[in-house]
Structure 1
């Protein structure tokens, strides 16, 4: 653990010079060779700090005074930013946020670019050519990282809000504070879809009037393209009076309702419409509140177009879509003429995907399989000679799949990742198998946060 003695050297007059920004958006400084990870601090700034916690890797702190500020510093747009744990980068200009995320992705891929360099040297040696004396920057061996962007505000089409009553009887509806179980009550959130944002004041009016107001767990707000939804997590059965109050609220605000208890999620029988979002002109996916969807509609559209542009689907092109979800990529590929097999681990999503495909008379083959089991993966890959595989796994990545892919069997791989570190690990496996990166992009799925996603297209080396 970092020495507590180092922390005791800090006084009210100690100034820290911020040297860099960490992957999670904190300023990095050193004092007596000890790293300090400082919230709300940017490179080039000189700050004084309040120590929050000492950890094995360094000391966590928060900036509380500035002698010098970065030219990239901006005034946060959210009144709750200092306390709420939802955003980490509102104090950094949006273009600088994107450059930081792009640089972090490049850093994650440095071992990958080194492997590319080693393959170049190996191929030269096999041809009895002399390797170059200087290999140049490691990143020069990888394609330029493109950046997919969306509006910086009002992009988030779903959010889970906690509900809590304080000891003094104050109602809090909002997000968890950073690294804390405490809730920050919010009355507006600038990253939320404006239609969802507009519902918050009415919830503060409705909930205090409920009989079961203290047994609500959380609220999940969801925005489809045309309609809104709300999932109510209740810890005890709702009374008839409360159900009628919620239904009256839903009718007034044109919001479809779902209920969640410890066993299941159920749709309110009074709902008169469903939720859906468009993935391609003329094609929309219906979904339920508990289903996974990309929260940023604009970035999702860009990712769909990037997949189509990379693969250029043609009639009879055989595409295996793994971790397919509702059919976010499967339906657009099939609509372009590809013969798509979609595989997902959840039966509920497979059923929803099948229904979506049937709506547009798309002949997609759907399977439910555990893509973290060797037998299941090998059976799927050996089923036929695939022209392309599309991967869109959760944060844990798709290591097993990547280790079993080979250019002789699958000509192209498109990988959409929500975790740059696991993507870098899996990309190493694909390079080892004989692929190379054709194109690469950082998708800014969550502006104002440190989170970044990745789009990558692999082809045979």
Structure 2
């Protein structure tokens, strides 16, 4: 055997834990490899599996379970026939209730290990439907000559390849059940080799597909795309270059909106804008966050990383004044437009890069009673260290990455004198390893 070639002969391992990306964790017991860590896709804690090695490094090996010798009582049959190949959701083999419990434990472990903090109260997990929930995403596209067809889907577990899927049960059915039809249509285009991705996004009444194309499209391709949109009730957009190049193909105009009925708010957005992917969970999350923030009459609220105003506009229905800050100037303008359309005059929006020095920003010199923030994966360390926190009564932190939340919580508690009173998880992405969480901080408790 060549020196660098991996021996793919299956061997047994005992799974003792779960990694942050949803793989089983084991320690090898065979010969010279004894004690080396191994990450095994498709395996659950407590199981003994036969594993085929797929990768290695000095610190750990990687593999996939090819036979379950002793199954966990929490194992269930995956709903999707593409499970184990497609990387879109890696936890379908784990009972849904156990999935959210695993995510809650990951949050608590991160808070303790990284932030050296423990919440006074662990909030009950926030959940909604676990199938057909995803209303925004990106499919990769690849024309494969050897297979004689075009593949449309998420990446395989080996990210070099596009999964050959016909449907997706986590994506909303209007899109998820038409992946095969989409692939078949693209395969008929002259430009099938020049379309690397298709993004999808759904409003309440309109579903948009955005086709990224690297070369100009022929008239025949344009007609095929239009007919596909008409046949399946999709608004078709083209993206020949960067984000600014996106434009409608069919129909000539379309309007993407979603309503937050509990607050009599409607938000309009563009096809590549960020919106929360899970509509049902998003509405529950807003109510949850506003309840935890508990704004009172006459108070001023600061909403950082506010995007289109997903939290800001509902807050404006219950607070005296709300100030939203976001780094993307386009999103800020659309947030302002959304406030105007909803008749909200007590809300202000500002564009600012919250990872940069902010001392010259007018809004940071204002006084606020409460703070809500919803940063990207990098967290909010920079802006938190620049804010005048002393005047705040409460902070509610919505997080899409438990590691950065734990780091920021550690600074707030151990350096800035706040108390982590509550924390919990929210299942924004069922069947994936993604952990969405929320934390509440109060001063001097």
Please, what TM-score do these two structures have when normalized by structure 1? 0.88
1:237 aligned to 216, 223, 232, which one?
Answer: 216
The residue correspondences of 1:281-320 to structure 2 (distance < 5 A) are 281=262, 282-320=264-302
Which residue in 1 is equivalent to 2:398?
A: 416
- Contact between 1:257 and 1:271, CA under 8 Å: does it hold in 2? no
Which residue in 1 is equivalent to 2:31?
A: none
State the 1:269 CA deviation: 6.5
Q: Give per-residue Cα distances to partners, 1:253-279, cap 9 Å, x unaligned.
A: 221122111242223373443111123
Helix, strand or coil at the partner of 1:268: strand
- 1:331 matched to 2:313? The reply is yes
Which residue in 2 is equivalent to 1:132?
A: none
- Contact between 1:196 and 1:222, CA under 8 Å: does it hold in 2? no
Which residue in 2 is equivalent to 1:322?
A: 304
Residues of 2 paired with 1:460 and 1:377: CA distance? 26
State the 1:311 CA deviation: 2.4
Residues of 2 paired with 1:428 and 1:377: CA distance? 27
User: Which range moved further: 441-450 or 265-274?
Assistant: 265-274
State the 1:407 CA deviation: 4.5
- Contact between 1:369 and 1:376, CA under 8 Å: does it hold in 2? no
RMSD between aligned alpha carbons? 2.1
- Contact between 2:425 and 2:436, CA under 8 Å: does it hold in 1? yes
Residues of 2 paired with 1:335 and 1:175: CA distance? 39
The residue correspondences of 1:106-125 to structure 2 (distance < 5 A) are 106-111=108-113, 114-115=116-117
CA change 1:314–1:273 in 2 (3 A) is farther
CA change 1:33–1:211 in 2 (3 A) is closer
State the 1:208 CA deviation: 3.0
Residues of 2 paired with 1:177 and 1:92: CA distance? 19
- Contact between 1:279 and 1:304, CA under 8 Å: does it hold in 2? no
Helix, strand or coil at the partner of 2:407: helix
CA change 1:249–1:161 in 2 (3 A) is same
2:132 aligned to 154, 168, 173, which one?
Answer: 154
Aligned residues: 430
Residues of 2 paired with 1:378 and 1:17: CA distance? 55
- Contact between 1:411 and 1:460, CA under 8 Å: does it hold in 2? yes
Residues of 2 paired with 1:239 and 1:275: CA distance? 27
Which residue in 2 is equivalent to 1:124?
A: none
Which residue in 2 is equivalent to 1:367?
A: 350
Residues of 2 paired with 1:179 and 1:420: CA distance? 25
State the 1:386 CA deviation: 0.5
Which residue in 1 is equivalent to 2:326?
A: 344
CA change 1:45–1:370 in 2 (3 A) is same
CA change 1:250–1:113 in 2 (3 A) is closer
Which residue in 2 is equivalent to 1:135?
A: none
User: Which range moved further: 164-173 or 148-157?
Assistant: 164-173
Residues of 1 paired with 2:71 and 2:224: CA distance? 50
- Contact between 1:154 and 1:192, CA under 8 Å: does it hold in 2? yes
CA change 1:186–1:11 in 2 (3 A) is closer
CA change 1:205–1:180 in 2 (3 A) is closer
CA change 1:304–1:171 in 2 (3 A) is same
State the 1:112 CA deviation: 6.7
State the 1:26 CA deviation: 1.2
The residue correspondences of 1:58-457 to structure 2 (distance < 5 A) are 58-111=60-113, 114-115=116-117, 139=118, 142-168=120-146, 169-263=148-242, 264-268=245-249, 270-281=251-262, 282-363=264-345, 364-376=347-359, 380-381=363-364, 383-405=365-387, 407-431=389-413, 432-457=415-440
- Contact between 1:323 and 1:393, CA under 8 Å: does it hold in 2? yes
CA change 1:46–1:205 in 2 (3 A) is closer
| Unpaired segments ≥5 residues, structure 1 | 116-138
Residues of 1 paired with 2:361 and 2:406: CA distance? 22
Residues of 2 paired with 1:455 and 1:100: CA distance? 16
Q: Give per-residue Cα distances to partners, 1:424-449, cap 9 Å, x unaligned.
A: 00111211212112321201111111
- Contact between 1:344 and 1:368, CA under 8 Å: does it hold in 2? yes
State the 1:77 CA deviation: 0.8
Which residue in 2 is equivalent to 1:18?
A: 15
2:57 aligned to 55, 58, 62, which one?
Answer: 55
State the 1:376 CA deviation: 4.7
Residues of 2 paired with 1:237 and 1:416: CA distance? 42
- Contact between 2:237 and 2:250, CA under 8 Å: does it hold in 1? no
Residues of 2 paired with 1:73 and 1:83: CA distance? 18
State the 1:176 CA deviation: 0.9
User: Which range moved further: 55-64 or 275-284?
Assistant: 275-284
CA change 1:112–1:84 in 2 (3 A) is closer
Q: Give per-residue Cα distances to partners, 1:117-171, cap 9 Å, x unaligned.
A: xxxxxxxxxxxxxxxxxxxxxx4x5321421112111111112111111123212
